Structure formats: C-alpha cells, structure tokens
Amino acid sequence: MQNRDDYQNSAAIYDFLFSRVLRNIHETIRTCLTYNKAKNVVDLCCGTGQQLRHLADQGMILTGVDLSQAMLYQARKKSPESIHYLETDAADTQLPAGRYDAVIITFALHEKPAAQHQAIFKEACKLLTPEGVILIADYCVPREELSSQIMSTIGFQSVERLAGIDHYHCYKDWMLNGAVEGFLDTHNPGKLSLVSEHYFGCVKLLTVSKIPKTLNMEAKP
C-alpha cells in the first residue's frame, strides 16, 4: 500500500502528459467492453479517471478505485457525477464480490512490489462475475527490434526513473520477472488472450476470463 501520496506532485499534470499517449488503449478497452456488453465496470488504480470518462456515454455503471487523494481530486473534478470514486486500497476494496462484468487495471501493477500486485489481481478475480473479464494493460518484454528496445530503455525506463526510486525498483523487478506475461503466466488462473500491442510492442493489453470459482491464486509449480 502507498504510505504517502506518490502522485501529489504529478496529479494535476498527469492528464496533460499522458492523455494523448493513452488514447489508443482507452479506445481499445472501450471497444472490448461494448463488444462484451459489460454493464458494471470497476477500474482498479483508476488514477485521474481518464479511462472511466471514456466509457461514460456507454450506459455502464462505472466505479474507480484509487489510493491517491490527489489523483481522485482530479478524477472527481473532471468526471460526471454518474462515475463513483472510492479512495481505498485496490487490494481490499470492500466492493461486492462476483458483481462486476469487467475489471480494468492499466499501468498500475508494474509500480508495486510483488505482494501488492498479486493482491490487487486477486481482488480483481474476486470482484468479477463468472462470465466477467479482467483487462490489463502494462509493460511487456520488448521485442528484439531496435525501435522496441529504444522505446523500452530510453523511453519508458526514463519515465519510470523520474517517478521516484521506489517506483523504479518495482518497475525493474517487474521487467526482470518477465513483465506482464511473466506475471500472468505465474498467477493467472483463467483464460488469457492478447488484445493489442502498443508503443512498438512495449505494452500489451490482455484479457483474463473464465476464472474458476475456486480462486486458486497460488503460483503454478
């Protein structure tokens, strides 16, 4: 869990910095959710609520969860009142289990220690309906080609370094452990599908569905 508000200094400029960069991912998630006819949707670690606002005209019931007061201040200020925001730990939301058609987790797992990102993913599994889907967008292992290597090492690594030393160490561990595929290969109890790749193959959007009722979240042997 965050002890202090790591986003206090960046919340006000977060959308200015990232809204264009993230637009394709937001749009792809919206397409997936409308295709799946998702009604009840929760975004864990929702930040400033950009993704939820991008879904606001779809007739969905939208909930955002985040720990940062500064990020939620921006989210509430910019969002219609129909979007609900909760200031709480995404690993223990107290939201009703088995009620959500979709759980979104974008650019959040890589910045946390392993125990925390596992706990957040476990909570996502718990919140889903049996037919529900988790959508995860996060860093993956870059491709061998030069554009992918440059984007990863010069681009994303620098952004993560600027976010602070703790954040950077978590990001490095995430990459060393196989990034999003490594995490899901070890912890995903359901069916994994690749939806799209972004930024020269440095980021993947994946879905996890068909999660068994007995949430076996232990790492595979």
Ligand X SMILES: C[S@@+](CC[C@H](N)C(=O)[O-])C[C@H]1O[C@@H](n2cnc3c(N)ncnc32)[C@H](O)[C@@H]1O
Residues lying near ligand X in the complex (CB under 6 A) are found at 1-2, 7, 22, 45-47, 50, 65-68, 71, 89-91, 106-108, 112, 116
Inter-residue contact 183 to 220 (CB < 8 Å): no
Q: Which residue is nearest to ligand X (CB)?
A: 47
Q: Which is nearer to ligand X, 116 or 207 (CB)?
A: 116
Which uninterrupted H or E stretch holds 83? none
- CA 87 – CA 95 distance, rounded (Å): 12
Find the shortest distance in angstroms from Cβ 45 to ligand X: 3
Find the shortest distance in angstroms from Cβ 141 to ligand X: 19
Q: Which is nearer to ligand X, 161 or 210 (CB)?
A: 161
Determine the residue type at 166: D
Q: Which is nearer to ligand X, 29 or 146 (CB)?
A: 29
- CA 86 – CA 127 distance, rounded (Å): 15
Indicate if the alpha-carbon torsion angle 196, 48, 121, 139 is positive or negative: positive
Q: Which is nearer to ligand X, 175 or 191 (CB)?
A: 175
Find the shortest distance in angstroms from Cβ 182 to ligand X: 19
Tell me how far apart the terminal alpha carbons of the chain are, to the nearest angstrom: 27
Q: Which is nearer to ligand X, 16 or 214 (CB)?
A: 16
Inter-residue contact 43 to 65 (CB < 8 Å): yes
b/e per residue 24-35 (b: at least 16 CB within 10 A): ebbebbbebbee
Find the shortest distance in angstroms from Cβ 28 to ligand X: 13
Find the shortest distance in angstroms from Cβ 86 to ligand X: 9
Inter-residue contact 104 to 41 (CB < 8 Å): yes
Find the shortest distance in angstroms from Cβ 64 to ligand X: 9
Q: Which is nearer to ligand X, 73 or 107 (CB)?
A: 107
- CA 76 – CA 58 distance, rounded (Å): 19
